[in-house]
Structure 1
Amino acid sequence: MKEKGIWLLSKMKPEHLKKAQEMAPDHEMIKGWEEDSNLDFPVENIEIVYGWNKDKVQKAGLLESEDSQLKWIQVSSAGVDYMDLAHLKEQGILLTNASGIHSIPIAESVFGMLLAHGRKIQQAVVDQAQHIWRDDQKLVELSGKTMMIVGTGHIGKEVGRLAKAFNMETIGVNRSGREVEYMDKIYRQPELTDHVEEADVVINILPLTSETEHFFDEKVFSHMKEGTLFINVGRGPSVNTEDLIQALDDGKVAFAGLDVFETEPLGKDSPLWDRKDVLITPHISGNAEHYNTRLFEVFEENLHAYAEGKELPKNLIDYEKNY
C-alpha cells in the first residue's frame, strides 16, 4: 500500500485509471464510486479526491481529520455552492470544478425546451396520449428573435453559438462586461434591468453566490417585455419562485423551462407542476453522454501540473468569488 492516495468517487474508465496511475505513480488509486464501497485506506493519507460523495466523505471523516493530508478536490459539477468553501479555504485545500464539460448537453437542453414550447411539441405529447388532433395552433420561430444569455461562461458561450445557428440576435450578461464570442452585445450584471426588455428569450446560467441568490426577482421580471420566454439551467435559488409564478400569471413570462429549483427534488405540492406554461426537467440538463471522458480530461490536465508542482491550470475555484 502506498503512503498517499487518490480517492476516486467518480467512475473512471480503465484507460483513464491507467493514465492517472502513470502520472501519479506514488499514489494509491482508491476506487470508491460504487455505492456499497467502503474506504479501505487510511483517511489521513488521502491527498486528492476525484468526484464527490457527501455521505461517504462524512462517514470517513475526511474533512474533520486533524492529520488530513488532503490537498485537492476535483468535483464533478460546475457549481460548487454545496461545498463548504469557507472550510476548504481555511484548510488551504484546492478545489477545481467541472466547468465546461456540461456546455454541450445543457445548451442542447435549452433549445430542446424552447422548441418544445415554440413548435408546440410539449402540447403534442399531451395530445397524443389523449388522441387529440390539434391543427389550429399558433407556432413561433426562434429565427430573428433576441436571446439574452445571463452568465457567459462555457455553457453561455455554447448557447450563444447555437443561437447563431438559429439566426438569433444575442446579448450576453456577465459581471465584468468582457467581450464573449457569439454575443452581439455585452452588458454587466448591474445593467440587466435596463436592457432585459430588449430580449424575447432570457436564459439564466448564473452560478449561485451571495450576489446571485434571488437575482431573478419581481424587479427583473417586471422589466421584461410582455411574453418573454425564460429558461433556468443555472441554479435554482438564483430565481425567486414566487416572483416567477407571478410573472407567469401577469403574462410578463409566457413560458418557463426549468431544470433547477430552489428546493430539489421539487415538492409534489409545488404549483409549478400543474402549469401548462411551465416545462419541468429534474435537474438533468447537464447529464452528458461523454461525461466520464470530459471530466477526466479536466482532471488529467490538472493532475499533470500537480505532479510537477505547478499551479492547477484548469477550473481552479477562486474562494473570493466562490466560483
Structure 2
Amino acid sequence: MKIVISDMLGFEEEHDNWILEAAGDDTVVCPQNDEELVAELADAEVFFGYHSPEVFAAAKNLKWMQTTSAGLDMMLTPEVRAMGLQVTNASGLHAAPVVETAWALTLAVSRYLKHFGECQQKHVWDQFTPFDLNGRTAGVVGLGASVAVTPGSPPHSVCG
C-alpha cells in the first residue's frame, strides 16, 4: 500500500518515526511541493494530511483520506465526495491549544486588556479595576475534546 503524507505543519522526528513504524512494509512518501504531491497521489491508496481538494483529481486509487484537522468542510467538495473515499479526521488533536486559547481570551476579557492596551497607546492612566474570576462560576458550552478537562489547563468543572 502507498501512503502519501502532506506534512504542512512540519512533523517532529518522533512523529515521523511513529508513522513509519505503524506503516510497516507499506510505502510512505512525503512530497515536498504540490507538483510532487499530485504525482504521488496518482497511485496512492492513503492520504494523510490536509490540502486543498484540487490535488485529488488524479488520485484514482485513493481509498482513505486522514486529515490533520477536525473540520472537513474545505476538503469535502462534491468532487472529493464523488470519489467514495473513507474520510477520517483528527477531532480532538488540537484540543489543548483550543482550551488554552479559550482561557487566554477569557482572562483578556476579564482584565480588559484591549481597553488598557488602548490607554497605554494614548499614555493615559486609567484606574478602572478589572473584575476577578476567582470565586465566580462560568459555563462552558461546546462539544468534543475541547470542553473536556485538559491536563495542565487551569482547573475547571463542567455543570450539566
Deviation at 1:13, TM superposition (A): 2.7
Shift, 1:21, TM fit: 2.4
Deviation (angstroms), 1:183: 2.0
Instruction: Give the whole-Å Cα distance in 2 for the aligned partners of 1:100 and 1:144.
Output: 29
Map Cα deviations across residues 65-102 of structure 1 (whole Å, 9 max, x no partner).
Answer: 4xx22122121211222232766665442222222222
1:146: which partner in 2?
137
Alpha-carbon offset, residue 41 of structure 1:
4.4
**Superposed displacement of residue 51, structure 1:** 1.0
Aligned to 1:155: 146
What TM-score results when the alignment is normalised by the length of structure 1? 0.42
Aligned counterparts, 1:13-28, within 5 A = 13-28=12-27
**Residue type of the partner of 1:108?**
E
Q: Larger strand proportion, structure 1 or 2?
A: 1
Question: Are the structure 2 counterparts of residues 131 and 75 from structure 1 closer, same or farther at C-alpha, using a change threshold of 3 Å?
Answer: same
1:6 is aligned to 2:6:
no
1:141 and 1:76, CA in 2 relative to 1: closer, same or farther beyond 3 A? same
What pairs up with 1:38-117 in 2 under 5 angstroms? Answer: 38-39=36-37, 41-54=39-52, 57-59=53-55, 61-62=57-58, 65=59, 68-84=60-76, 91-117=83-109
Give yes or no for contact 1:8–1:30 (8 Å, CA) kept in 2: yes
- Aligned equivalent of 1:184: 159
RMSD (Å), alpha carbons: 2.9
Q: How many residues align?
A: 156
**CA distance in structure 2 between the aligned counterparts of 1:111 and 1:39, rounded to whole angstroms:** 38
Instruction: Provide the C-alpha distance between the structure 1 equivalents of 2:110 and 2:21, rounded to a whole number of angstroms.
Output: 50
Equivalent-residue separation in structure 1 for 2:149 and 2:119 (angstroms)? 32
SS in 1 for 2:148: helix
The 1:39–1:183 alpha-carbon spacing in structure 2 relative to 1, beyond 3 Å, is closer
CA distance in 2, matches of 1:21, 1:29: 7
Percent of counterpart pairs with the same letter? 26
TM-score (norm. length: structure 2)? 0.77
Q: Secondary structure at the match of 2:68?
A: coil
Change over 3 Å in CA distance of 1:71–1:35 after alignment to 2: same
Report the alpha carbon displacement of residue 42 of structure 1 after superposing the two structures with TM: 4.7
For 1:18 and 1:139, how far apart are their aligned partners in 2? 48
> What SS is found at the alignment partner of 2:106?
helix
Q: Residue type of the partner of 2:30?
A: K
Contact 1:7 1:50 in 2 (8 A): yes
Structure 2 CA distance for partners of 1:15 and 1:112, relative to 1, 3 Å: closer
Deviation at 1:9, TM superposition (A): 0.9
Unmatched segments (≥5 aa) in structure 2: none
